[in-house]
Amino acid sequence: MKRRDFIQQTAAASALIGLGGMGLTSFAPATKKITILHTNDVHSHIDAFGPDDGRNPNQGGVSRRATLIANIRKENPNTLLLDAGDIFQGTPYFNYYGGELEFKLMSMLKYDVATIGNHDFDNGIDGLFAQLPHAKFDFVSANYDFSNTILDTHVKPYKILVKDGIKIGIFGLGIELNGLVEQRMYKETKYLDPTETAQEMTRILKQDEHCDLIICLSHLGYNYRNRPEKISDLKLAETTKDIDLIIGGHTHTFLKKPTVVKNSEGKNLLVNQVGCYGINLGKIDFYFDADKNKSANGTSIIV
């Protein structure tokens, strides 16, 4: 988007929000805003990188992230906090406590939903199960069939949350474990085709549950340039419909801004990933209005 358009759009939007507030004194404001905050591949990076770190000096740290998230929630209580997997493995905190501290801190930060990354199996499926009591948030995974494992019923395919009357459906997708994680770690977990699973999920969330917003929490990886046949977030975005946002992980991809992709129906959606190690926080704001005219020409995306 050109800068000129950006300024115009922003000005128009603010004007409309202002009008909405003044004009409609009835029970509900005309405009609703849902904020989605997200992380991925934090890999047990609880402390910030030190000043002498060769690559990311003074970056990251859970206690700083906590302040930022609290401020954003104060600004907009209709905020969800999500994680796209690989919470575990990367610092001695994981070796010492097996993920207990990671889950406890994410609970204190009030994470709502997370999905499972390949490294979350690093202490085996039993190791993950053992830490679940410390997580006061939900795990979603639609393409890992855990029915023959200890995680059966503990991980749901999707979760529906309602914020300010907006119905938000969130489903999870995980990467193929065979060849990446030893079988003795993931045991009888069955991997299902991500594209077919996504189609099934969007059918449930859109047609049966009438969600206003559908989010895919994915640990598939952003894009595999040298392996175009391999499923990735970009590929999933292009070949499915009714998803509004794919929050990705696994490839530790640092994007300058979220990627806008056209889905199988030619509609725009966003694919985002915020690198790794808790260095960044992703923030996506969704604006809803009762006035159909405003969305008649499609949804404007400002990134």
Residues that bind other proteins (CB under 8 A): 9, 13, 28, 32, 46-48, 58-68, 70, 89-90, 92-93, 95-97, 101, 104-105, 108-109, 122-123, 165-166, 182, 212-213, 244, 255-258, 270, 272, 274, 278-292, 294-295, 299-303
Helix (H) or strand (E) holding 201: helix 194-202
Q: At its nearest, how many Å lie between other proteins and the CB of residue 265?
A: 15
Q: At its nearest, how many Å lie between other proteins and the CB of residue 24?
A: 11
Buried b (16+ CB within 10 A) or exposed e, 1-16: eeeeeeeeeeeeeeeb
**Can you tell me whether residue 238 is helix, strand or coil?**
helix
| Residue placing its CB nearer to other proteins in the complex, 6 or 147 | 6
| Residue placing its CB nearer to other proteins in the complex, 194 or 282 | 282
Per residue, the 3-state secondary structure of 24-93, as one string, reads CCCCCCCEEEEEEEEECCCCCCCCCCCCCCCCCCCCCCHHHHHHHHHHHHHHCCCEEEEECCCCCCCCHH
| Residue placing its CB nearer to other proteins in the complex, 64 or 156 | 64
Length of the chain: 303
Q: Which tokens in the block code for residue 225?
A: 């340039």
Q: At its nearest, how many Å lie between other proteins and the CB of residue 153?
A: 27
| Residue placing its CB nearer to other proteins in the complex, 152 or 291 | 291
Q: Which tokens in the block code for residue 204?
A: 């449930």
CA–CA dist 33, 151 (Å, integer)? 35
Q: At its nearest, how many Å lie between other proteins and the CB of residue 224?
A: 20
| Residue placing its CB nearer to other proteins in the complex, 154 or 294 | 294
Q: At its nearest, how many Å lie between other proteins and the CB of residue 36?
A: 9
